[in-house]
């Protein structure tokens, strides 16, 4: 839904719906005032990645300010649609006091110019800035009044969008990265069909989880992105192995939150490890003032995970985890070996393949084919734990065969569904490939060549 264009008709309808919601809330709480939060997005892509980030930031700032001022929040309603993301806050306070608070946020927050915070009194009247002696809001890019520029369409949409992206990158990077990570995990689980994996159609080879379990897990994991990033930045100049241990400690806390959210089901343990390393690398790169290039990310991941196989697997007296047992029986380091290489399989194989496939066949098919590519190449410990070497070999061979057959979209989907059925019957699930698929999509969105 994010980054998809809407229509002028839909936008006008959403505006009418918002007015009806406002009227109902004021009717339900006759002594209250109302804050209406929207985001200024001058294009037909109202639910952009940046708009969602801005809404998250604005909501957090508003809630913090209301709490600080001792203002009682009665109801908060949020709407998430292609026409945009918006929230309504019903508050037990005078409207003029709320308007002063809203204007202060709009005027002083570094992203305030992108926030549209209206205040309605108990009669439904929208208070104006002039009632507080404030001037009208200025344009994003020049000193002219915003309404004048908008009506005259003085600035191209592309220029306005580039400016908004730059502002979000500068002032809300943590929120933006957290949303990218959340979207990557959602993109993976919602991709349908997928052989042996949880998707929108079924639970794959899993009997203890479904797509709602994954949604709960994703919700629990996302807040830890900022912790990994902040920690990596704060300790960017210390020895890498020590930084890795800090990231791992946060990962342990994240795993605990995941298990609490899923009632003990392991949905994303491998993904948590991947995100910890990726966010750690990003934090170190940011602290050094460098760009998020594939080369820099790969290098920092290598540094963080140096000698990880030896530290975690070789120098262990007895195998005490699935990864360790996999190593002792197959001599494959699994996800640790991949991390130690700086996720080379993603940067060198999956990511270029995915980008080329998107250009040729669109994102959904590119994701499905990239998953098959990863399944055909990866020594996946999840597959091994369920089906031994025979199950691993079967999956790799079948995925490679299906990947290299040229067929129409409908036939390809039919073959994927048949492969899914076979994987379910054999109790096989390529969880490691799924994690790396999410990483591939994520890197395609946040990195530059």
**Would you say residue 383 has pLDDT above 80?**
yes
Query: Which residues does 84 contact at the CB level (< 8 Å), separation at least 6?
Result: 11, 14, 38, 39, 41, 46, 47, 51
**Would you say residue 322 has pLDDT above 80?**
no
Average of per-residue pLDDT across 188-212: 97
**Would you say residue 319 has pLDDT above 70?**
no
Q: Note the pLDDT of residue 208.
A: 94
Q: Note the pLDDT of residue 177.
A: 98
- Average confidence score pLDDT of the chain: 93
pLDDT tier at 405 (50, 70, 90 boundaries)? confident
Strands 115-120 and 33-39, by their bridges, are antiparallel
**Would you say residue 360 has pLDDT above 90?**
yes
Listed by start position, the domains of the chain span: 8-155, 163-445
Query: Which residues does 303 contact at the CB level (< 8 Å), separation at least 6?
Result: 240, 284
Q: Note the pLDDT of residue 406.
A: 82
CATH of domain 8-155: 3.30.70
Asked which of 125-129, 134-138, 189-193, 351-355 is least confident by mean pLDDT, the reply is 134-138
SS3 of 80, please? Answer: strand
* Distance in Å from the first CA to the final CA of the chain: 26
Q: Among residues 168, 294, 282, which one has the least CA distance to residue 233?
A: 282
Read out DSSP for 362-386? -HHHHHHHHHHHHHHH---HHHHHH
Please say whether the beta carbons of 104 and 119 come within 8 A.
no
Average of per-residue pLDDT across 373-385: 93
Each residue of 40-72: pLDDT tens digit? 888 888 999 999 999 999 999 999 999 999 999
Q: Note the pLDDT of residue 311.
A: 87
**Would you say residue 320 has pLDDT above 70?**
no
SS3 of 393, please? Answer: helix
* Interior angle at CA 338, CA 336 and CA 340, nearest 5: 65
Report the percentage of the chain scoring pLDDT > 70.
99
SS3 of 34, please? Answer: strand
Q: Note the pLDDT of residue 252.
A: 97
Return the C-alpha torsion angle 186, 192, 194, 198, nearest 10. 50
Q: Note the pLDDT of residue 82.
A: 93
Largest CA distance in the chain: 75
């Amino acid at each position: 839904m994010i980054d998809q264009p809407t229509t002028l008709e839909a936008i006008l309808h959403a505006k009418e719906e918002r007015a009806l919601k406002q009227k109902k809330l004021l009717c339900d709480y006759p002594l209250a005032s109302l804050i209406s939060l929207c985001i200024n997005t001058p294009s037909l892509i109202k639910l952009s990645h940046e708009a969602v980030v801005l809404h998250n930031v604005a909501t957090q700032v508003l809630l913090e300010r209301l709490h600080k001022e001792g203002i009682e929040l009665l109801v908060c309603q949020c709407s998430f649609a292609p026409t945009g993301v918006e929230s309504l806050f019903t508050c037990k306070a005078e409207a003029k006091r709320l308007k002063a608070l809203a204007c202060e946020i709009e005027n002083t927050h570094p992203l305030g110019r992108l926030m549209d915070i209206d205040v309605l009194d108990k009669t439904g009247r929208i208070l104006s800035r002039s009632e507080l002696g404030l001037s009208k809001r200025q344009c994003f890019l020049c000193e002219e009044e915003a309404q004048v520029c908008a009506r005259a369409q003085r600035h191209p949409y592309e220029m306005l969008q580039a400016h908004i992206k730059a502002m979000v990158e500068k002032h809300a990077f943590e929120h933006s990265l957290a949303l990218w990570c959340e979207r990557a995990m959602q993109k993976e689980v919602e991709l349908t069909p997928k052989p042996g994996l949880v998707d929108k159609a079924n639970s794959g080879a899993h009997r203890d989880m479904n797509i709602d379990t994954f949604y709960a897990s994703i919700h629990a994991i996302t807040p830890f992105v900022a912790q990994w990033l902040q920690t990596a930045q704060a300790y960017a100049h210390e020895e890498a192995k020590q930084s890795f241990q800090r990231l791992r400690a946060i990962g342990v806390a994240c795993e605990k939150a995941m298990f609490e959210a899923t009632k003990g089901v392991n949905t994303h343990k491998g993904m948590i490890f991947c995100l910890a390393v990726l966010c750690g690398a990003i934090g170190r790169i940011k602290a050094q003032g460098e760009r998020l290039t594939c080369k820099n990310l790969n290098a920092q991941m290598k540094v963080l995970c140096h000698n990880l196989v030896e530290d975690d697997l070789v120098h262990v007296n007895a195998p005490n985890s699935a990864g360790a047992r996999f190593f002792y029986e197959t001599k494959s380091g699994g996800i640790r070996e991949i991390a130690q290489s700086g996720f080379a399989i993603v940067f060198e194989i999956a990511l270029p393949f995915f980008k080329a496939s998107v250009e040729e066949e669109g994102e959904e098919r590119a994701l499905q084919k990239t998953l098959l590519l990863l399944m055909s190449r990866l020594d996946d410990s999840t597959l091994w734990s369920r089906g031994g070497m025979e199950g691993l070999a079967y999956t790799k061979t079948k995925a490679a065969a299906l990947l290299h057959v040229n067929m129409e979209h409908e036939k390809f989907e039919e073959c994927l569904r048949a492969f899914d059925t076979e994987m379910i019957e054999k109790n096989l699930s390529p969880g490691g490939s799924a994690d790396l698929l999410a990483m591939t999509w994520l890197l395609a969105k946040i990195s530059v060549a």
